[in-house]
C-alpha cells in the first residue's frame, strides 16, 4: 500500500483571515468615535451629511455595476467606507445636492469607471471631494457653509491662523474638534483610530509616518508664513499637525492600497511628499482648507514612478 509521506502545495499555506470586507468594517468602526463627536458638535447637519454620503455612494456603486454588467459588491463595504470618509471631509452645512454629486463623482469617476476596487489609480474619496471643491467653492467653504447652522460662531482653525487670531486656538480644542471645521475634525480620535489600523497591519505604516513627517517638516520650515504680514504671533507646529484633515489624510486617505506605492522606499517618498505639499497648500494656497486632499491627489499621480524605485535583484547589474 502506497502511503503519502510528504504533501507539498503552493503558498500561501495558511490564510490570515484578512480581506476587503473585514478591513472595510474595521476601518469604519475606528472612525465612528470621530463621526460621533462631529454629530455632537453639528447635530442633525452632520448626521444628514454622513447618512446621505454613505447612501449615495452605495447607490452609485449599485447603479454603475448594474449598468456595466458586473456583479454587485456592496457587501465588501468599500462603497460605504468611501461615503463615510467623504462625509468626514465635508462641512455639516453643505447643500444636500452637493453631497450627492460628490458621492457619485467619487464612486463613478474615481472608482467604477476604472474597473472598480483594485483598479482605480487615485483615491476615490479624494477625487469626489476635489471635484466639488473646485466646482462649488462658495458652498464648500467651511466657514461659509457652517454659518447657516444655528449656535455656531467663529472661524475654522486655518482661517483663524491666516487672520492672525492664534490666541483663539488651543491644542486641546484642535484635538477634539472644538473649532469650526469639517465633520471629522476630532483629530485625536482619528489618530487613535489610525494607530489601531497600524497595529492590525491594515494600512501601510510607512506612508502614514512619512505623511506626518512631511507635515511636521513643513510646519517647522514655513508654517509661520500662514500668519498675516506684520503679525508678531507664533505658530505651534502641533496645532498645524492636528488641524483640519491632516490625521484623516495620514491614516485613511494617503495609505489607500490601490493608489499608493507598494515598495518601501516609494511609500516613504510618497507619504513625505504628500504631507509637505499638503502643508504648502494650506499655508500659501487659495484652497487652504483642501491642502490634504489636493496634496494626496497630486502626489498619487507619481505613484507608478515611485514603485519603480526598488532594490536590484541579486546577480543583476
The domain spanning residue 241 has which CATH number? 1.10.3430
The pLDDT, as a whole number, for residue 280 is 95
The answer to whether residue 4 is domain-embedded is no
The answer to whether residue 11 is domain-embedded is no
The answer to whether residue 28 is domain-embedded is yes
Q: Grid coordinates representing 138? A: 462658495
The answer to whether residue 266 is domain-embedded is yes
Q: Mean per-residue pLDDT for 237-248?
A: 90
The answer to whether residue 44 is domain-embedded is yes
The answer to whether residue 68 is domain-embedded is yes
The answer to whether residue 130 is domain-embedded is yes
Residue 301 has pLDDT above 80, yes or no: yes
260: containing domain = 21-152+165-305
Our count of domains for the chain comes to 1
- In the structure, what pLDDT confidence band is assigned to residue 17 with cuts at 50, 70 and 90? low
The pLDDT, as a whole number, for residue 192 is 96
CA distance 261 to 310: 11
What is the length of the chain? 317
- In the structure, what pLDDT confidence band is assigned to residue 150 with cuts at 50, 70 and 90? low
What's phi and psi for 130, nearest 5 deg? -65, -40
Q: What is the pTM of this model?
A: 0.90
Please write the tens of the pLDDT for every residue from 48-57: 999 999 999 9
- Which value, in Å, is the radius of gyration of the alpha carbons in the chain? 21
The answer to whether residue 6 is domain-embedded is no
Amino acid at each position: 500500500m502506497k502511503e503519502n509521506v510528504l504533501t507539498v502545495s503552493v503558498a500561501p499555506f495558511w490564510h490570515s483571515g484578512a480581506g476587503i470586507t473585514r478591513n472595510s468594517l474595521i476601518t469604519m468602526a475606528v472612525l465612528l468615535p470621530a463621526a460621533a463627536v462631529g454629530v455632537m458638535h453639528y447635530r442633525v447637519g452632520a448626521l444628514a451629511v454622513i447618512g446621505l454620503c454613505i447612501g449615495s455612494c452605495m447607490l452609485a456603486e449599485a447603479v454603475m455595476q448594474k449598468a456595466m454588467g458586473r456583479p454587485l459588491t456592496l457587501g465588501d463595504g468599500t462603497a460605504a467606507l468611501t461615503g463615510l470618509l467623504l462625509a468626514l471631509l465635508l462641512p455639516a452645512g453643505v447643500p444636500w445636492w452637493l453631497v450627492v454629486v460628490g458621492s457619485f463623482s467619487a464612486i463613478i469617476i474615481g472608482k467604477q469607471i476604472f474597473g472598480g476596487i483594485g483598479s482605480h489609480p487615485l483615491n476615490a474619496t479624494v477625487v469626489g471631494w476635489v471635484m466639488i471643491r473646485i466646482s462649488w467653492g462658495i458652498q464648500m467653504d467651511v466657514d461659509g457653509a457652517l454659518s447657516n447652522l444655528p449656535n455656531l460662531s467663529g472661524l475654522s482653525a486655518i482661517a483663524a491662523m491666516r487672520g492672525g487670531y492664534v490666541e483663539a486656538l488651543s491644542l486641546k480644542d484642535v484635538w477634539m474638534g472644538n473649532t469650526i471645521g469639517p465633520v471629522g475634525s476630532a483629530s485625536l480620535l482619528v489618530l487613535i483610530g489610525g494607530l489601531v489600523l497600524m497595529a492590525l497591519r491594515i494600512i501601510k505604516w510607512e506612508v502614514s509616518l512619512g505623511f506626518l513627517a512631511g507635515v511636521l517638516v513643513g510646519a517647522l520650515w514655513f508654517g509661520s508664513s500662514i500668519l498675516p504680514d506684520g503679525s508678531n504671533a507664533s505658530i505651534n507646529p502641533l496645532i498645524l499637525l492636528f488641524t483640519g484633515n491632516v490625521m484623516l489624510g495620514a491614516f485613511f486617505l494617503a495609505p489607500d492600497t490601490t493608489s499608493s506605492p507598494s515598495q518601501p522606499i516609494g511609500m516613504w517618498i510618497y507619504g513625505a511628499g504628500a504631507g509637505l505639499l499638503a502643508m504648502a497648500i494650506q499655508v500659501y494656497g487659495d484652497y487652504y482648507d483642501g491642502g490634504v486632499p489636493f496634496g494626496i491627489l497630486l502626489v498619487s499621480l507619481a505613484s507608478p514612478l515611485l514603485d519603480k524605485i526598488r532594490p536590484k535583484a541579486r546577480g543583476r547589474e
